[in-house]
């Protein structure tokens, strides 16, 4: 590969705002000013539509991470309504960063489409919701980003074929992903990026990588393999209560990720001449010195 696309880095806030608009806006501001992110991403769920009654009223599987007496109460506590999402989008525009949201159900897809974000994300858990995907293809004109965690290769083929059939394949961004929080390094399976590239790079708009691992080395490798869109969960404090915080980067980690990705992007080239100007100075000084 000789022409690497510039890295595009998304700070996934998700529900790490703990249901607090003040924290959400602080995360946005820090992502832009300190971390040099290109975009932030939230999540939108209609919990009564997404969950069965039994799931909604069941206890949270990890009580220490719960913000409610039941899983439904926990999810509702962390949920922003569409008016609040509109406020977050306006705030993103004020600070100069792209706003986006993952949508988990058809109602949420319709609500977020009404805000006309630059892109909408479909999480791995929902990439087989063809009713929602069909509606988005017909009614939303922006990019549609989709993760492929917990998805078979044949299911991914079906997904790509669907976007071809809808005439929206050039708006599709396909992410390599392993669904786990956090994911051990041996389960990241970065070389699957090569498979996505081989099969779909000439069809889709971009190949991305959504990571739930620790540290930032893996993301740099993912970019070098050809995933120019990098998405990482982001929090102000990894010790906060909630499922995603432990697999998230804090601001300094996110800042270093942006720094390293841009450094690697600048370095990924061939020499334009056998002896670069910076080398000529050293060649004249050091090469073929007399004994």
- Would you tell me the crossing angle of helices 192-200 and 153-165 to the nearest 10 degrees? 30
Q: Is the pLDDT of residue 289 over 80?
A: no
Whether this model's pTM surpasses 0.85 = yes
Residues forming beta bridges with residue 14, ordered by sequence position: 42
Query: What is the average per-residue pLDDT within 183-193?
Result: 96
**Token pair 């929902």 is at which residue?**
126
Q: Using CA atoms, how far apart are residues 14 and 177, in angstroms rounded to an integer?
A: 16
Residue-level pLDDT at 1: 44
Q: What is the pLDDT of residues 256-267, one digit of tens each?
A: 999 999 999 999
Q: What is the pLDDT of residues 51-98, one digit of tens each?
A: 989 999 998 888 888 888 888 888 898 899 999 999 999 999 999 999
- Assess if CATH 3.20.20.70 describes domain 8-286: yes
Query: What is the average per-residue pLDDT within 200-220?
Result: 96
Residue 290: pLDDT band with limits 50, 70, 90:
low
Query: What is the average per-residue pLDDT within 123-140?
Result: 98
Mean pLDDT of the chain: 94
Q: Is the pLDDT of residue 142 over 50?
A: yes
**Token pair 């009223």 is at which residue?**
57
Domain boundaries, the chain: 8-286
Percent of the chain, pLDDT > 90? Answer: 80
Q: In terms of Cα–Cα distance, which of 100, 179, 180 is closest to 140?
A: 100
The dihedral region occupied by 103, where left means phi > 0, alpha psi between -120 and 50, and beta the remainder, is beta
Q: Using CA atoms, how far apart are residues 59 and 47, in angstroms rounded to an integer?
A: 15
Q: Per this entry, what is the length of the chain?
A: 291
């Amino acid at each position: 590969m000789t022409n690497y696309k510039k890295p595009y880095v998304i700070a996934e806030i998700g529900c790490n705002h703990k249901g607090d608009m003040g924290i959400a806006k602080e995360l946005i501001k820090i992502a832009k000013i300190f971390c040099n992110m290109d975009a932030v991403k939230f999540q939108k769920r209609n919990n009564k539509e997404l969950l069965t009654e039994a799931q909604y009223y069941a206890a949270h599987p990890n009580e220490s991470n719960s913000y409610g007496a039941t899983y439904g109460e926990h999810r509702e506590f962390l949920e922003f309504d569409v008016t609040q999402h509109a406020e977050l989008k306006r705030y993103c525009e004020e600070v100069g960063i792209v706003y986006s949201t993952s949508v988990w159900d058809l109602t949420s897809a319709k609500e977020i489409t009404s805000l006309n974000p630059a892109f909408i994300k479909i999480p791995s858990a929902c990439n087989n919701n063809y009713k929602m995907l069909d509606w988005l293809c017909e009614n939303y004109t922006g990019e549609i980003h989709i993760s492929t965690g917990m998805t078979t290769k044949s299911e991914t083929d079906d997904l790509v074929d669907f976007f071809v059939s809808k005439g929206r394949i050039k708006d599709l961004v396909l992410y390599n992903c392993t669904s786990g929080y956090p994911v051990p390094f041996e389960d990241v399976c970065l070389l699957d990026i090569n498979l996505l590239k081989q099969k779909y790079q000439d069809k889709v708009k971009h190949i991305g990588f959504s990571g739930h691992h620790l540290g930032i080395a893996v993301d740099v490798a993912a970019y070098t393999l050809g995933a120019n869109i990098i998405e990482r969960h982001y929090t102000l404090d990894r010790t906060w209560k909630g499922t995603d915080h432990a697999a998230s980067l804090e601001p300094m980690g996110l800042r270093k990720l942006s720094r390293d990705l841009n450094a690697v992007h600048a370095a990924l080239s061939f020499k334009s001449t056998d002896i670069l100007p910076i080398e000529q100075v050293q060649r004249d000084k050091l090469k073929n010195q007399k004994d």
